[in-house]
Structure 1
Amino acid sequence: MNEPVRIRTARTIVRLLDTEEAELLQRYRVENREHLAPWEPMRTAAHYTLDGARQTVEAGLEAARADRGYPFAVLTPDGTEMVGSLTFANVVRGVFQACHVGYGIALRHQGKGLMFEALDSAVRYAFGPLDFHRVMANYMPRNARSGALLTRLGFEKEGYARRYLKIDGLWEDHVLTARIRAEG
């Protein structure tokens, strides 16, 4: 990935962070620690430090350069606040041309339609310049908001995986969904 990705929506900018912007990620993590904990793997104390955020940003930039993953920040239009994150991960090329998408939004921005707006644009980018055929997203059955968001975005249920991922210290079931690029 040579040129920086910058996806503009009506109320957000979706892009990779630069290393010198690690403070935006750290602030997002610290402010949303309790809010995001039930939906994420258990985190170490280092995850919430500036150095931890910087390492994450550096690893994300390297992943994007190598076409292994795209950890995008969802930012306010002026770029001063991170309101959410979305990541195209587990990139598989060849005959599969697919990835998983994971996402989260800050508590204070929840319920405003910002994640729909950002994901809608990002998934179109995934099917366009990133040339994916399939984008998969999985959610815990108890996360009705996430299920509704994926349905609204055109993701279709493909299965159910018992004890799929270890989230907040527990093996959680997940509903498996995907959206396929429209041919035409």
Structure 2
Amino acid sequence: MNNKNGRVYIRILDVSDTDDMLNHMLRNRELFEGVSPKRCESVYTKEVQEKGIENGIKQREEDKRYAFGIFLTETDQLIGDISLFEVQRGPHQKCILGYSMDQAHNGKGYMTEAIQLIMKFAFEEIGLQRVEAGVMPRNVGSMRVLEKAGFRQEGLARKLLEINGVREDHVLFAMLAEDYLDRVKE
């Protein structure tokens, strides 16, 4: 997925990305804590970030999770991460999409590009049939990103996740392999 034709590219994270991921987490801590489940303080350490990347490698080998970094093509700077997790095979052939973007790069269309790249991976390389995503209704920017990338809104999951001690509703989105193929043909 190291396609450098666009403004960003994605590639599987490896241990050499540990410092960059830690800095990404530290720079954006306040933003991420407002939209993500509560994290332990240790997540903001090099050891835990490295262990997380190593775990991601193991989960990729087990076909459970695919974790990528999002990099600027021009500078190779890590500006975010994107992953397919809770991969289910058998009759489901689906997963959940998760992502984060450095707040300094929000609103520039980079995440839409990264989602398009990971959808190519999901549908063309690992053969999934459905990718789901959930977003809190107040996170209008993230919902817009999913819509621009071709996801369709499917409903509302009431009190889906606990964020900062509060059970939060999430708007559910999905993209099917056929939706992706229709977009590619356009």
Q: Counterpart in 2 of 1:153?
A: 149
Q: Among residues 2, 16, 26, which one is paired with 1:20 in the alignment? A: 16
Contact 1:24 1:80 in 2 (8 A): no
SS state at 2:125 partner: coil
Q: Deviations over 1:10-66 (max 9, x none)?
A: 122211221132111101001110121111111222101110110110011111111
Please give the alpha-carbon distance, in whole angstroms, between the structure 2 residues aligned to 1:46 and 1:153: 33
Please give the alpha-carbon distance, in whole angstroms, between the structure 1 residues aligned to 2:17 and 2:156: 38
Please give the alpha-carbon distance, in whole angstroms, between the structure 2 residues aligned to 1:173 and 1:155: 18
Q: Percent of aligned pairs with the same residue?
A: 32
Contact 2:112 2:145 in 1 (8 A): yes
Alignment TM-score, normalising by the size of structure 2: 0.91
Q: Deviations over 1:72-126 (max 9, x none)?
A: 1101226753211111011001111100101111010001110011111111221
Q: Among residues 103, 114, 127, which one is paired with 1:131 in the alignment? A: 127
Please give the alpha-carbon distance, in whole angstroms, between the structure 1 residues aligned to 2:106 and 2:131: 23
Alignment TM-score, normalising by the size of structure 1: 0.92
Report whether the alignment pairs 1:171 with 2:167.
yes
| Larger helix fraction of residues | 2
SS state at 1:6 partner: coil
Please give the alpha-carbon distance, in whole angstroms, between the structure 1 residues aligned to 2:176 and 2:90: 16
Q: Which amino acid aligns with 1:109?
A: H
Q: Which amino acid aligns with 2:79?
A: V
Give runs of aligned pairs for residues 88-167 of structure 1, distance below 5 A: 88-167=84-163
Which ranges in structure 2 are unaligned for 5 or more consecutive residues? none
**More divergent stretch after superposition (74-83 vs 58-67):** 74-83
**Structure-2 change in CA distance of 1:126 and 1:43 (3 Å):** same
SS state at 2:68 partner: strand
Q: Among residues 33, 40, 49, which one is paired with 2:36 in the alignment? A: 40
Please give the alpha-carbon distance, in whole angstroms, between the structure 2 residues aligned to 1:80 and 1:177: 30
Q: Counterpart in 2 of 1:51?
A: 47
Please give the alpha-carbon distance, in whole angstroms, between the structure 2 residues aligned to 1:68 and 1:147: 25
**Structure-2 change in CA distance of 1:78 and 1:57 (3 Å):** farther
Please give the alpha-carbon distance, in whole angstroms, between the structure 2 residues aligned to 1:160 and 1:35: 23
RMSD over equivalenced CA pairs, Å: 1.6
**More divergent stretch after superposition (8-17 vs 47-56):** 8-17
**Structure-2 change in CA distance of 1:79 and 1:42 (3 Å):** farther
Note the C-alpha offset of 1:176.
0.9
Q: Among residues 79, 84, 95, which one is paired with 1:83 in the alignment? A: 79
Which ranges in structure 1 are unaligned for 5 or more consecutive residues? none
